[in-house]
Amino acid sequence: SFAKELFLGNIEQKGVFPFPEVSQHELSEINQFVGPLEKFFTEEVDSRKIDQEGKIPVDTLEKLKSLGLFGIQVPEEYGGLGLSNTMYARLGEIISLDASITVTLAAHQAIGLKGIILVGNEEQKAKYLPKLSSGEHIAAFCLTEPASGSDAASIQTRATLSEDKKYFILNGSKVWITNGGLANIFTVFAKTEVVDSDGSKTDKMTAFIVERDFGGITNGKPEDKLGIRGSNTCEVHFENTRVPVENVLGEVGGGFKVAMNILNSGRFSMGSAVAGMLKKLIELTAEYACTRKQFNRNLSEFGLIQEKFALMAQKAYVMESMAYLTSGMLDQPGFPDCSIEAAMVKVFSSEAAWQCVSEALQILGGSGYMKDYPYERMLRDARILLIFEGTNEILRLFIALTGLQHAGRILTSRIKELKSGNVTTVMETIGRKLRDSLGRTVDLGLTGDLGVVHPSLGDSANKLEENVHYFGRTVETLLLRFGKNIVEEQLVLKRVANILINLYGMTAVLSRASRSIRIGLRNHDHEVLLANMFCVEAYFQNLFSLSQLDKNAPENLDEQIKKVSRQILEKRAYICAHPLDRAS
């Protein structure tokens, strides 16, 4: 895929340049849909009330069901809308106007029933999907347990096969289940005993479709949360729940793959959802900034306020580009593996959301802090984005390690030769280093006469090419230095992931802005500005990160960071003496 190629210092243009488009027919179809939906969300959904009361009103849910939003991606033959990933992202933009509804719907269809679509067999699909897509039944995804946050190996829920081999008896507890109190259908992951080919018994994870009617299912009371307070999150307990063997999702013992597929497939949509939220946010704050007077001037005339709008617009533009680029890739035939790209979209958009909402609140100053305005609620709601669907820390490791694994496989022979001291390879490497240090220009074919990037973005494209080239070199050096031990170097991995996210963002905006210029979209000069601005910022960030990845760089403070934290964690406290303390 595109991201994996970046690790080798290449830019794979297929699927990325030109920016993916949807057909006119599809577009007009979705636009018919978007209008009423937007109207419904702006006029009928009272986010403030949802937040205060901690639940979504029944009539709102009914309306959502009648709009078909509970089965956006369910194929049409099962009663869903059967929309593509790109269209799903488009609807997500509007749904995101209320965070609680977004989370409820996402838990239902992005993870709750996704397993049935991805790996369910015909009977399971026919039995469950129609009712799920109509919203008659709500789905929930049950993986997390008290003992396991991100560590799925320690799940304790067990499913044991009954004597007559017709049922699995399910026992255990799951925590933090979104929709846990509303759901009728649960995708539950439990340990089952599996006999290996050599006859030994091991515990493996299996996915089950569990109906509430199977009995023995109880809920804890809804959790009181910081944000997304309208969504229902609670514990779900299973006590001797009898699950028929037909309800095993995928294979017995194959739950791990199911869980991984579900989680990896749902992440890209956060990009467009956050972008939708940010666009709304920009409207709200711009209205305020242009009317509020301070020192006889509008707020909008102050540079420090203007800067915040530029930041919000830039972030929104980048994440939108990344999200639709990724969804466009996902919609290409052959189920391409875009898990790295989706993870990058998630990391970028969640962090941008937090930053931008915070800046928006800052524009309002003290008023933003008050409950009269929606900003504090948006801030609270945005905080969860950094945590769920895989925390950003874990996703960074995923991004970096998956790419390094790919690069490592391809570079293995070269690195082996280098390590054994093959004269030709060593000389070649030294020669390459020498050429790089003498400042050769990098040309990966983005610009020029037949280039895919528009000339007004040429400088930015050159910056991207340069970054990609040196990133490839750095990856090679890192692999040479650490080899498989790089798994333990989390600070290094974080930087690799950060660079990659920036590179992907640069690619996305270059591709999108080029398309906008060529087909002459409205305000494309604005897009060019945003794209160039982001590319310059990202370029310098990347240069800094790349130099930090150098072994003896003065910018690299890893050793000090590790030592400081080690000393603190040994004592489990801040250990400096008080500034007022005296020696005597």
| Length of the chain measured in residues | 584
**What SS3 state is found at 138?**
coil
- Quick one: 14 or 571, whose CB is closer to other proteins? 571
Query: Is residue 205 at the binding interface for other proteins, with CB under 8 A as the rule?
Result: yes
In the chain the first and final C-alpha atoms are separated, in Å, by 65
CA distance 112 to 109: 5
Active-site entry in 93, 211, 351, 389: 389
Per-residue tokens: 119? 């790996």
Residue 556 engages other proteins in binding (rule: CB under 8 A)? no
- The smaller minimum CB distance to other proteins, of residues 133 and 157, is found at 157
Residue of 572, 578, 579, 580 interacting with other proteins (CB under 8 A):
572
Is 551 an interacting residue with respect to other proteins (CB under 8 A)?
A: yes
In angstroms, the CA 254 to CA 115 distance is: 12
Site string for other proteins, 472-511 (x = CB under 8 A): -------x-xxxxxxx------------------------
Strand partners, 139: 185
Q: Contact between 56 and other proteins (CB under 8 A)?
A: no
- The C-alpha angle with vertex 71 and arms to 70 and 74, in degrees rounded to 5, equals 160
Strand partners, 248: 208
Phi, psi angle pair for 242, to nearest 5°: -95, 115
Tell me whether residue 380 or residue 494 sits nearer to other proteins (CB atom). Answer: 494
Q: Do residues 132 and 139 touch, judged by C-beta distance below 8 A?
A: yes
User: Which position among 63, 204, 225, 383 is part of the footprint of other proteins (CB under 8 A)?
Assistant: 204
Show the site string, 242-281: x = touches other proteins by CB under 8 A, - = not.
--------------x--xx--x------------------
**Interface with other proteins includes 197 (CB under 8 A)?**
no
Q: Does 152 bind other proteins (CB under 8 A)?
A: yes
Judged by CB, which is closer to other proteins: 397, or 538?
Answer: 397
Q: Please state, in angstroms and rounded to a whole number, the distance separating the CA atoms of residues 140 and 187.
A: 6
Interaction of residue 435 with other proteins, rule CB under 8 A: no
Residue range at the interface with other proteins (CB under 8 A); choices 32-40, 411-419, 445-453, 502-510: 411-419
Tell me how far, at minimum, the Cβ of 478 lies from other proteins, in Å.
11
Under rule CB under 8 A, residue 92 binds other proteins: no
Judge whether 211 counts as a catalytic residue. no
d(CA 299, CA 368): 15
Using CA atoms, how far apart are residues 267 and 340, in angstroms rounded to an integer?
10
Query: Which phi and psi angles does 263 have, rounded to 5°?
Result: -65, -40
Residues with Cβ within 8 Å of 514's Cβ and at least 6 positions away in sequence, in order, are 17, 18, 19, 452, 453, 454, 457
Stretch that binds other proteins, among 347-355, 358-366, 394-402, 521-529 (CB under 8 A): 394-402
Q: How many CA atoms lie within 13 A of 206 on its CB side?
A: 26
Six-digit token string for 27: 């577009």
200 binds other proteins, rule: CB under 8 A: no
Asked if 401 contacts 4 with a C-beta cutoff of 8 angstroms, the reply is no
Structure tokens at 315: 């972030």
Our finding on whether 444 is near other proteins (CB under 8 A) is no
Q: Which stretch binds other proteins (CB under 8 A): 107-115, 129-137, 280-288, 415-423?
A: 415-423
One of 23, 150, 200, 441 touching other proteins (CB under 8 A): 150
| Catalytic residue list | 389
Q: Enumerate binding residues for other proteins (CB under 8 A).
A: 150-153, 155, 204-205, 256, 259-260, 263, 390, 394-395, 397-398, 401-402, 404-405, 408-409, 412, 415-416, 419, 479, 481-487, 551, 570-572, 583-584
